[in-house]
A and B are shown apart, each in its own frame.
Chain A
Amino acid sequence: MTSIHIDGRTCPTRPDINLLQACLEAGASLPYFCWHPELGSVGACRQCAVRQFSGADDKTGRIVMACMTPVTDGTIVSIDDAEAREFREGVIEWMMVNHPHDCPVCEEGSECHLQDMTVMTGHNTRRYRFTKRTHRSQDLGPFVKHEMNRCIACYRCVRFYRDYAGGDDLAAFASHDNVYFGRAADGTLENAFSGNLVEICPTGVFTDKPFSGAYSRKWDMRGAPSVCVHCAVGCNTIVNARQETVRRVLNRYNGEVNRYVLCDRGRFGHGFVNAASRIRTPLRRINGQLVPVSTQDAMAQFSRMAARGPVVGIASSRASLESCFSLRVLVGADRFSTGQSRQEQDCAELGLSLLRTHPGLIPALHDMESADAVLVLGEDVSATAPRLGLSLRQSVRQASFRAADAAKVPRWMDAAVRTLGSECSSALFIATPAPTDLDSIAQETFHAAPDDIARLGFAIAHRIDPAAPAVSDLVESQAALADRIAMALVAAKKPLVVSGMQYGSPALMRAAAGIAAALATKTPVAALSLVFPDCNSMGLAMVGGLSLDAVLEKAEAGEIATLVILENDLSRHLDPAVLAKLTEAVPGIVIIDHTMTPLCETACLVLPAAPFTECSGTIVSQEGRAQRYFPVVFPSAPIQSGWRWVQALGQHIIVEDEAASAEIRATGLTDWRRMDDVTLALARDIPVLAAAVGAAPGADYRLEEQRPRNEPHRASGRTVIRSHISVRDQPPPASPDTPFSNSMEGAYGPDMPAALVPYFRTPAWNSVQSLSRFQQEIGGAMRGGDPGVRLFADLSSDQQDNRQPLYSYSLDIPAAFRPQSDKVLLLPEGRLFGSEELSLHSPPVAARSAAPALGLPAGDVPPGRVTLHLNGGVHDLPVQEIAGLPEGIALCPPHMVSRAFVFPCQASLSTADGKGKRT
């Protein structure tokens, strides 16, 4: 057991960390700026000075920077030493020389690390009596505000943006006390993780621009632990609200998943909940128009519809497990659809089964960071699962960690490790149709049609395990590439294969799973990760149900009188012609959603659902982690959770239809009083989801016999806000679906379950840096355990024994792709901003979404615009040259040109002069 002595107190610690981290973990208050748990130490700010003694006999010691000093057993330090204190106070005083002291108008105020550290050092009197240096701030685009005068030059921003996130349009400029952190010229920060600057910056240089438009002090906002709904990765977030409007989204640390970082889509995509496109009241079609009606009227209408015949339910991969499940209960499993096209559903089911049968590891994001050889097979993860892409970016550093270990340089000594690793990076291979953001750090890239990528994948699997089928007629260069990739993966201690559903190719996923399984014969921790499209695609795949194609068959057979569509815009899944067939074949369509979609045009009845910020729900991420979000805003009726609407529908079927009544009553649907009841019923009905109950503590949870509070205890203005109406104190909003008090009363502390942490704050630590106090070890698991529960993929011994001993490799190897002379293979171009449905309703994300263009191979591009003939539709598009895109392939952003396009598909092109393309 390693221990150190801090001002005479003996503190147990661990040997592989620095002294600053050890002091913080021991509960000491030692100020710092440039060090960040995820970025390591560089020794720039000189704020964490302590006196270190060489032994018990050493009475003088010397001042050292704690962040640059490794912990050794028996280290003796003094934080309280007078000279060390004087120096730390002096460092703050130097930082304050040019700081504008504009705290009252600064949006970092109240959660400013610089404020906290200034108070901590005791500096309070200005002695510098000369003028301050000033800077011109920049317009950095729709996400991030810039106020350079507040900068204390800790270099965190550039270290995060460039070194960690791989950005190149933010840099440190100039030198001495004129050093400047910004872009070469005003303009949008282009990196997908720019929003994290808001949390990385210890003061108010980089602040949240959308939040600025609806600003509130941290202490005046309610927080809710939440889960991002803008992709399937499952990053944990905190949603802040005041006066029943959502103000912003912050990162919520989950040691296994997103840790310290969110992507910009996740951070800024929440705007849809405040958008004008929200549905806030029931709407009924009267004389062809959707008209606001009362809930009573809407329900009466539904009763009439339900009386006409069978009701079929269509769920959604963006709705919670509880809402989807409630719909399944209402309509019965044989009338329940997942709301995906057959191809989408086949892919999702295949993905689930490949993961379940994978003999190795199903990695969490944090596991991926330590993979030392990675193959990405046919998925542009930087667009479809951005945070996952960032984890892969970290994985290439494994080799530099080994170099550092060999040179006896601690891994947290960031600059030194990067120097040692500047020429060695771990293997990352990218095989995708088009270039991706990760190509620049890849050892090798391979751009080809999905079928050719799958063939490469099968060939790699065969080289690793001869039991896997061989690929015939592989081009020599591809065979050699397969050899190199196979060798690198086999040589790795923690190999990882990533694929996904972006290109709708089962062959790609089977090939990827085959490689991972082949690797697992040699390396038990060989990992397989598959990217799913939506936040609850995995959960929905585990629930199961009919595909939309099956629903269409039923409809055309006249077996559907009413369709209840839950949080699903079918126009994104079905071609207009197919969708028209469906809606024409069904007399009544009921839509339960929070946002108006084009599909609403077909509805008889639209019911306003609560989005993820206004209700509780459980969703399952692509790694099989069930996680729960909680409401931060409590909508007034008629807005309510999807499952409550479904329950209401059930109650009205009962009223009208005595036959159905008994059936529905038997399900218990009408007895559910709160969300926990739904989750429990779900666990009983669908055993594979049983563990989802444990995603977070239920509404009965009490901390120190009290409800946990989700407003800081300094929250002010509870009566003032309504004072123009009444000065009487209003009771906080109550909800049976959450354990929270929804006020500043209640219990709160660093040991609370991590799934319930509504904000981070501890005494003297008001900024997000207070997170350290909530962790068992800094950078490790949360004190209350990392949130969420894995539903499969545990590498526990009993499970391994139960696995079938022989992996059955897929024998379905596609033929090589052959470009056609009159057609192009049209593939989806995943976009960080623009492909995802909900975030596009968020104004800052919409502002970042570029107009669609048709991507064509460089050198093969007709001038001007091109007409795309796709499934009978004609689209006039500008052309974008894409270097590296193979011949015979065109890229088109999904949902932007043709709202639904089932890919891969063949399309033809023509130019303005009327000539067919591809001459």
Chain B
Amino acid sequence: MSFPDRPLTAMIDVAAGPPDCMAYERAGGWEAVRRALKNLTPAEVVDTVTRSKLRGRGGAGFGTGQKWSFVPKEPASERRKYLIANADEMEPGTFKDRLLLEGNPLQLVEGMILAAYAIQAGHGIIFLRGEYHLACKRLDQAIAEARHEGWLGENILGSGFSFDIHVHSSAGRYICGEETALLTALEGRRATPRSKPPFPQTGGLWGTPSVVNNVETLCNLPHIITNGPEWFLALGTGTDGGTKLYGVSGRVCRPGTWELPIGTSLREIIEDHAGGMLPGYGLRALLPGGASTAFLDVTALDVAMDYGSVEKAGSRLGTGMAIILDDRTCPVGMIHNLEHFFAQESCGWCTPCRDGLPWVERLLMAIEAGTGEEEDLEQLDRHARMLGTPGRTFCAHAPGAMAPLASGLKLFREDFAEHITQHGCPLQHAARSLERGRDDQHSY
């Protein structure tokens, strides 16, 4: 028996498309479901996953086994429960789940069966980002196939456990990625986050016990059941177990996503896998795990990309998908772009987020456009302070939005000041002249 070192992506061949049910089985698929449904009790599945120390891959990093442990233990036949795959991948700069959804949808199906069996949920829902049309098509196909082959439906493998999956294509909005807003949206209501308690595990979708897991988290499950928690733990380089899909976007030679042992250093990801910066561009700073993580500068390149290390460095692992700020792009412009996104995606429920983020956006727009004033920086600082602490806004959206702003105000203080004193963006002129230079080259 072979123990893969890149379990999540082993079967993915972008050119060939996703494996069908037969190919999936030939490559070792369905082994975990067979084992779990025939040999393991739901409690044993939970225990195995807990021992693997698998943590949520959506960004928050909560222990998956622990999350499941709060679900009431009645069998699926006795109580309606839901397992929901959070496939609403809308974090700017993040495209890891897409790879898993498009590349090997059956792996997600198998992971969901395992998770559902563990928590004894009879109903599965994939909450899919609305724009993921190809993923939607492939998921529908994979689910139909799995259903046809008896992996989904009544009494799977004669175990008495029944489970099926419905794909819900989102109507849009970033906030749906927040697990409680996702539930509210599924109920057909405004996607507004909910207060806890009740936690989804006890009072989730339509008030019934529900678990929301990220796609990548779920895709790890078949491999943990098949190969054991010890194998999974050993895959990581630090305290966390398993592999992680890392990615880089920005002006690097090979933007993309790669499955690497969790805890791989930023330097290795950027230099070895992304091929380093494009010629002529220097690395200025980066957002290590998506738009809602704080900037790290070049001094942090040797930080291991695991949950604890990135936090110690002053940011968060987030989705593990880094966005690079190069030395020719204006940090104020970048932050304005980010805050535009966050302001637009505020659900409008709580005051500080709804009316504070647009103010931040307007300030940044003014500064970038050259109409910034001295006091604007005070206002930005004040917003970063007042919105940045969790608990002041209803959910984590505004604190997430403040992460790049607060860190950016520290790291790029001089850039901000220059914008105000020079009444405009110094780098924009440089960028324009570079564009002109390129145009000249092309047109010779």
A residues sitting closer than 8 Å to B (CB atoms) are: 42-47, 49, 62-64, 68, 86-87, 90-91, 94-95, 97-98, 127-130, 133, 152-153, 155, 172, 174-179, 403, 407-409, 413, 415-416, 419-424
Q: Are B386 and A44 closer than 8 Å at their CB atoms?
A: no
Would you list which residues of chain B between 350 and 404 have a CB under 8 Å from chain A?
A: 350-352, 354-359, 362, 366, 373, 375, 379, 382, 386, 389, 391-394
Residue of B208, B355, B356, B391 near A64 (CB, 8 A) is B391
Q: Which residue of A lies closest to B196 (CB)?
A: A416
Q: Are B347 and A421 closer than 8 Å at their CB atoms?
A: no
Q: Which residue of B lies closest to A404 (CB)?
A: B198
Residue of B207, B343, B391 near A177 (CB, 8 A) is B343
Q: Are A87 and B386 closer than 8 Å at their CB atoms?
A: yes
Q: Is B138 engaged at the interface, CB distance under 8 Å to the other chain?
A: no
Query: In this complex, which of A155, A174, A175 has the most chain B Cβ atoms within 10 angstroms of its Cβ?
Result: A175
| Residues from chain B with Cβ under 8 Å of A407 in the complex | 197-198, 202-203
Residue of A64, A87, A90, A176 near B346 (CB, 8 A) is A176
Q: Are B348 and A178 closer than 8 Å at their CB atoms?
A: yes
Q: Are B198 and A419 closer than 8 Å at their CB atoms?
A: yes
Q: Is B345 engaged at the interface, CB distance under 8 Å to the other chain?
A: yes
Q: Are B203 and A153 closer than 8 Å at their CB atoms?
A: no
| Residues from chain A with Cβ under 8 Å of B69 in the complex | none
Q: Nearest 5 A-B pairs (CB), nearest first? A: A179-B348, A94-B355, A176-B346, A130-B362, A422-B207
| Residues from chain B with Cβ under 8 Å of A419 in the complex | 194, 198, 203, 207
Q: Is B187 engaged at the interface, CB distance under 8 Å to the other chain?
A: yes
Q: Are A176 and B343 closer than 8 Å at their CB atoms?
A: yes
Q: Are B208 and A172 closer than 8 Å at their CB atoms?
A: no
> Contacts A86-B386, A87-B386 given; 4 further ones with Cβ under 8 A?
A179-B354, A408-B197, A413-B195, A419-B194
Q: Are B187 and A422 closer than 8 Å at their CB atoms?
A: yes
Q: Are A415 and B194 closer than 8 Å at their CB atoms?
A: yes
Q: Is B173 engaged at the interface, CB distance under 8 Å to the other chain?
A: yes
Q: Are B349 and A155 closer than 8 Å at their CB atoms?
A: yes
A42 to B195, CA, bound (A): 8
Q: Are B207 and A91 closer than 8 Å at their CB atoms?
A: no
Q: Are A174 and B392 closer than 8 Å at their CB atoms?
A: no
A97 to B379, CA, bound (A): 13
Q: Is B190 engaged at the interface, CB distance under 8 Å to the other chain?
A: yes
Digitize B330-354: 1 where CB-to-A-CB distance is under 8 Å, 0 elsewhere: 0000000000000111111111101
A43 to B392, CA, bound (A): 10
- 11 inter-chain pairs at a CB distance below 8 angstroms, sorted by A residue, are A43-B195, A94-B352, A97-B359, A128-B359, A153-B348, A175-B348, A176-B344, A177-B354, A178-B348, A413-B195, A420-B203
Interface of A is mostly: loop
Q: Are A421 and B207 closer than 8 Å at their CB atoms?
A: yes
Q: Is B206 engaged at the interface, CB distance under 8 Å to the other chain?
A: yes
Chain A proximity of B105: nearest CB distance (Å):
31
Interface size (B, Cβ < 8 Å)?
41
| Residues from chain B with Cβ under 8 Å of A409 in the complex | 197-198, 203
| Residues from chain A with Cβ under 8 Å of B196 in the complex | 416
| Residues from chain B with Cβ under 8 Å of A152 in the complex | 351
Would you list which residues of chain B between 290 and 346 have a CB under 8 Å from chain A?
A: 343-346
Digitize B187-231: 1 where CB-to-A-CB distance is under 8 Å, 0 elsewhere: 100100011111000110011100000000000000000000000
A409 to B197, CA, bound (A): 7
| Residues from chain A with Cβ under 8 Å of B366 in the complex | 130
Given contacts A90-B386, A416-B203, A419-B207, contact A175 B351 (CB under 8 A): no
Chain A proximity of B61: nearest CB distance (Å):
22
Chain B proximity of A569: nearest CB distance (Å):
48
| Residues from chain A with Cβ under 8 Å of B344 in the complex | 176
Q: Which residue of A lies closest to B202 (CB)?
A: A407
Residue of B190, B208, B352 near A46 (CB, 8 A) is B352
Q: Which residue of B lies closest to A133 (CB)?
A: B358
Given contacts A155-B349, A172-B190, contact A420 B355 (CB under 8 A): no
A656 to B208, CA, bound (A): 81
A178 to B194, CA, bound (A): 21
Q: Which residue of A lies closest to B184 (CB)?
A: A419
Chain A proximity of B226: nearest CB distance (Å):
36
Chain A proximity of B79: nearest CB distance (Å):
12
A86 to B385, CA, bound (A): 11
Residue of B207, B351, B359, B394 near A403 (CB, 8 A) is B207
Q: Are A177 and B348 closer than 8 Å at their CB atoms?
A: yes
| Residues from chain A with Cβ under 8 Å of B350 in the complex | 43-46
| Residues from chain B with Cβ under 8 Å of A413 in the complex | 195
A129 to B366, CA, bound (A): 10
Q: Which residue of A lies closest to B392 (CB)?
A: A63
| Residues from chain B with Cβ under 8 Å of A44 in the complex | 349-351, 394
Q: Are B348 and A63 closer than 8 Å at their CB atoms?
A: no
A422 to B194, CA, bound (A): 14
Q: Are A423 and B206 closer than 8 Å at their CB atoms?
A: yes
A47 to B356, CA, bound (A): 14
Chain B proximity of A766: nearest CB distance (Å):
22
| Residues from chain B with Cβ under 8 Å of A46 in the complex | 350-352, 392-394
Q: Are A94 and B194 closer than 8 Å at their CB atoms?
A: no
Chain A proximity of B383: nearest CB distance (Å):
9
| Residues from chain B with Cβ under 8 Å of A43 in the complex | 195, 350, 394
Chain A proximity of B90: nearest CB distance (Å):
14
Q: Are A176 and B347 closer than 8 Å at their CB atoms?
A: yes
Q: Which residue of B lies closest to A158 (CB)?
A: B190
